[in-house]
Structures are given as C-alpha cells and as structure tokens.
C-alpha cells in the first residue's frame, strides 16, 4: 500500500500550499464577516477535504502508525473550535473522518499534553479580535 508517507516527495509544495491556505483562511474566518468569512470557510473546508482524502480509511496518515505528517498537522486542530464558533459550522458534519483522526491523535499523551486547550485558543482570538 502506498501511504502519504511514502509519497513524501510530493509534500513540500503541497504542505506549504496547505499551510498558507489554512493560515489565510483561519484569520479570515475569525476576523471578517459576511461573504469574505463564508468564502474563507468554504476554502478551509476544501483544504480539509484534501487532507481527509489523503487519510483515506487509515487511522493515521502513515497507516497504522502515528508519523511525521500527523505530527506536522495535528497542531492545526486546536484552532478548529474557534473556526467552528465564529463561522457557525460543524467539522463533525463536514469532515467526520478528519475529526475522528483528531480525536485519535488526542488520545496520545504526547499530543494531548502538548497542544493548547481549544477554548483558550478561542479566548485568545477573541482578545485579538477586540484589538482590530
């Protein structure tokens, strides 16, 4: 089976594009309103669709093993609550396999102890939004 880890040669460009897209969409989702916010939400969900497609039916991006791609991508998950709250949508409904992957990763002590609390991230973003 060819996993995303094996296809790593294609990732530097895709990973940079994905990171740029999610970072740009993320800020637009909480800092804007109306059509721009909806556009950012749609773009973000489309990025997550790409990730979910790479994940396929595997528990982790490397198959049965938590690997480098999981380590690189799981930090984005602490922002999901913020995005869902500001844009009023549910990732559980939009990208259920990706949400399951996040939950599975968070069961790992190394992940759960490292990532910030999503509610604290939300509070921080609310403070940032007030300063705009």
Do 99 and 92 meet the contact criterion of CB atoms below 8 Å apart? Answer: yes
pLDDT at 41: 96
Percent of the chain at pLDDT above 70?
Answer: 83
> Please, how many CA atoms are within 13 Å of residue 60, restricted to the half-sphere of its CB?
19
Encode pLDDT of 42-59 as tens digits.
999 999 999 999 998 999
pLDDT at 20: 54
- Half-sphere exposure at residue 79, Cβ-oriented, CA atoms within 13 angstroms: 16
Architecture of domain 10-130: Up-down Bundle (1.20)
- Enter the tokens of residue 86: 């500001």
Angstrom CA distances, 97 to 23, 51, 56, 104, stand at 21, 10, 8, 10
Q: Which phi-psi region, left, alpha or beta, contains residue 63 (left: φ > 0; alpha: ψ -120 to 50)?
A: left
Note the pLDDT tens digit of each residue in 8-41: 444 444 444 455 566 788 999 999 999 999 999 9
Residue ranges of the domains in the chain? 10-130
What is the reported pLDDT for 93? Answer: 97
* DSSP structure string for 15-73: HHHHHHHHHHHHHHHHH--HHHHHHHHHHHHHHHHHHHHHHTT-SBTTBSS--HHHHHH
Say how many Å lie between the first and final Cα of the chain, rounded: 48
Task: Summarize the confidence of residues 100-127 as an average pLDDT.
Answer: 97
Average pLDDT, the chain: 87
Predicted pLDDT of residue 18 = 52
């Amino acid at each position: 089976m060819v996993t995303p880890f094996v296809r790593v040669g294609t990732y530097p460009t895709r990973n940079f594009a994905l990171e740029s897209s999610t970072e740009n969409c993320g800020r637009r989702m909480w800092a804007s309103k109306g059509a721009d916010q909806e556009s950012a939400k749609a773009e973000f969900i489309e990025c997550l669709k790409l990730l979910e497609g790479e994940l396929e039916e595997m528990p982790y991006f490397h198959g049965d093993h938590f690997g480098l791609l999981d380590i690189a991508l799981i930090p984005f998950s602490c922002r999901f609550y913020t995005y869902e709250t500001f844009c009023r949508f549910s990732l559980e409904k939009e990208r259920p396999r990706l949400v399951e992957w996040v939950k599975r990763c968070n069961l790992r002590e190394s992940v759960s102890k490292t990532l910030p609390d999503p509610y604290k991230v939300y509070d921080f973003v609310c403070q940032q939004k007030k300063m705009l």
